[in-house]
Amino acid sequence: MSKSIEQLGHSKINIGLAITGKRDDGYHNIDSIFQSIRLADSIYFAKHHSVVFSGVAPELPQYIQDLIPYDERNLALKALREVQKYTGCKAGAAIHLMKRVPAAAGLGGGSADAAAMLLGLNKFWDLRLTMDELMTLGAKLGSDVPFLLKGGTARGTGRGEKLVYHPSPEPHWLLLVKPEISVSTAVAYGRYNGRSNATSDTITNVLHHLEQNDMYGAFTNSANTFEELLFPDYEELITCKEFFTSRGYPTNMTGSGPTMVVLLEKPVQALSLQEEIKKSGHNWLSLITKTCTQEEVQ
């Protein structure tokens, strides 16, 4: 057992997301490009005679902090229970989660924590589980978890758990902007009527641009079915996206929203945009980050 370690849980964005149909099990099939970003939570592991779990999110607004439980509902703690059940390990650990990724934002924050817990426990308890075993455990916890265990750039189909990895483009600066609204993923999926302007052809086109290291082309040619489903009833989402597109910045919603991902050429643009947001009176959370490769994640 290690003395103490820190395990990062990198979050993700979707560069294009198409809902391609409803499944017999009640879930939906999607087709999407998953891309790791540097914005990450940290899980700290230290020796203890039993398992104790705690967490804080001091950098996030209070309304987001209020969404995050640190009990058995937390996906990271559920990941720990899966490891205990699978391995029979009865070791202890003092585990502390430092949240930086906004919850319910389309960034995979909870799933990233589950992935970090699996990776961290495997090291801290010296379990020697293979990546295939970790991926199987991760798939039980959520459809984003398998991707977040490896990170990088991948095309995800099925519920998002069927992954084909691709070389990552060069790192690009991003501004993540989350309006102060909550969107239920279940409600959003419930609005899907079998039709979407975003299709698998859209995602294939996005992938083609990424393979050419053309992030600008990937962003401007992408689409997200959830924008079609949510924009009619959430004017704030339209306002947020147009705030950036009207200034010439390629902008897309990630996941089921509500976070907008703004593509930048250089980080100073993020600072300028943050000032403009403030002057305009919008109460939007904005975070500067960068895309990253699988090597950087691991």
Catalytic residues: 12, 144
**Dist. CA 10–CA 152, nearest whole Å:** 10
Structure tokens at 45: 């592991």
Type of residue numbered 191: R
CA dihedral 145, 150, 156, 160 (to 10 degrees): -10
**Dist. CA 1–CA 91, nearest whole Å:** 9
End-to-end CA gap in the chain: 20
**Dist. CA 200–CA 270, nearest whole Å:** 31
Using alpha carbons only, how large is the chain's radius of gyration in Å? 19
DSSP strand pairing (28-46 vs 162-166): unpaired
Chain CA centroid to CA 21, Å: 22
